[in-house]
A and B are shown apart, each in its own frame.
Chain A
């Protein structure tokens, strides 16, 4: 069936597909960044919800805080336990029949973003939680004794430190998210792996797949290097103390 060079690295086989491939990669980038924004927002909200505690106040307030916490825990556990592919397929095949306004007219692209955001919000929430818990209890006590409210303390003392500490695992998750966008291809969204596979099935030549691989590497390799630098810098500065999950 031809040599490895012809099968995987043939420029002639890639050239006619190049524009399609770049358009596909643009879809991949869009999926990645839009999902990231939603997942970061959702993840932060979930992480804070999970930290909700009410030491003062009456019983109703304590029950309320407990419910909020429970809700966050259930959400995070469920979505951490589900394969992203399954979430994508379930949403795609069932949303149009749900009669939920707006959601039932979602395109494949929008369903992909929704599914990835739902799943990654759970992952990111766990990372944020680890960050929040890594801030020493003493700082919180100090802030409270200076007269800050619970909310002020969270916003001004805990979260800024937490976010900085979890940068490496967040970037890691971002890289994984960018790769998981290829799952959205199953619902006929023209991301780069999907179009490369289409090209391969027409020409029976794998070079478009190689081209897709190269596009991914151009995107992910610098990120991987940045993560490593972050970790090294943090280690130098504090002798440990970064949080790495998964």
Chain B
């Protein structure tokens, strides 16, 4: 019996040491990283001077995705970030994959310079990361199977408030991507069952398969998906609209300012409108 307890204690101690060790590493990394940034490139605080490392949850078409047979990341966010980076002389832009539910902690820890991943600006998220000016206006949207709309056809073509959405979706099974504003909205629907997926396309496929009744997700992405998946249709937008922003480590104000200036430049010289037309086939809304 005594040997038993001693062995258990040893395992417990070992486990604690491992846990503490990991935590300690993370803790030590952050300040060291920031230190290196400031000394290497004092003006923008990039992790590697002259290179912009972008964290993004891929795929989220048409904002960031890869085409079959290629590793090259494409999309609205990609084009826009490259255009903005060019305004302050950085042409080496690398997109790095990061899961959306961890993207905010990773950004705050400085694992990349900026997160560009169709991120809605919220007060909650502002506590963890710094945001650029808004670069895209987005609505949440209600998506259903064409064959079985669960009575949501009545909403067709409408723009509804979050409260109306909560009533309409009551007691349904809702598919969302984890960590998104769609997931936050879905969590407030009374009696609803939530299926949270790692990739938004899994939610779309679950809808086709009939595993969920409805998908709550950003309008532009859902609308784009219906082109490839004609079984699905978006019945309603949810207002008020949300704004996408780029997210930065909270201490890197220099890069935020550079991005804001760059965004203003590309909006003024028509580059923004060009990129917008390329991906959404329409003129950007007047702002």
Contact = CB atoms under 8 A, between A and B. Distances in A.
Interface residues of A, number: 22
A188 B196 contact: yes
Interface stretch (A130-138, A147-155, A160-168, A196-204): A196-204
Contacts of B30: 1
A204 B128 contact: yes
Contacts of B208: 96
B101 A4 contact: no
Given A7-B23, A93-B205, A221 B8 contact: yes
Interface in B75-127: 101-102, 104-105, 108-109
A246 B24 CA distance: 33
Contacts of B109: 1
Interface in B191-243: 195-198, 202, 205-206, 208-211
Given A4-B27, A7-B23, A198-B196, A204 B211 contact: no
B209 A201 contact: no
A167 to B, nearest CB: 19
B36 interface: no
A221 B8 CA distance: 8
Given A96-B210, A221-B8, A221-B11, A204 B178 contact: no
A8 B19 contact: yes
Interface size class of B (residues with CB under 8 A): 20 to 34
Contacts of B102: 201
Contacts of A7: 23
Given A197-B101, A201-B101, A4 B23 contact: yes
A243 B23 CA distance: 38
Give the dominant DSSP class at B's interface.
helix
Contact of A225 (B4, B105, B205): B4
Contact of A108 (B15, B108, B211): B211
Nearest to B19: A8
A86 interface: no
Contacts of B205: 93
B7 A225 contact: yes
A96 B231 CA distance: 14
B178 A198 contact: yes
B211 A107 contact: yes
A96 B101 contact: no
Contacts of A188: 175, 195-197, 202, 206
A97 B109 CA distance: 42
Given A4-B27, A93-B202, A201-B179, 20 more contacts: A1-B108, A1-B109, A93-B209, A96-B210, A107-B211, A108-B211, A186-B198, A188-B175, A188-B202, A197-B178, A198-B101, A198-B196, A200-B101, A201-B101, A201-B102, A204-B104, A204-B105, A204-B128, A225-B4, A225-B8
9 contacts: A1-B105, A1-B109, A4-B24, A97-B209, A108-B195, A198-B101, A201-B102, A204-B104, A225-B7
Interface of A: 1, 4, 7-8, 93, 96-97, 107-108, 186-188, 197-198, 200-201, 204, 210, 217, 221, 225, 228
Q: Which 5 A-B residue pairs are closest in the complex by CB-CB distance?
A: A96-B209, A201-B101, A4-B23, A188-B195, A201-B179
Interface of B: 4, 7-8, 11, 15, 19-20, 23-24, 27, 30, 101-102, 104-105, 108-109, 128, 175, 178-179, 195-198, 202, 205-206, 208-211
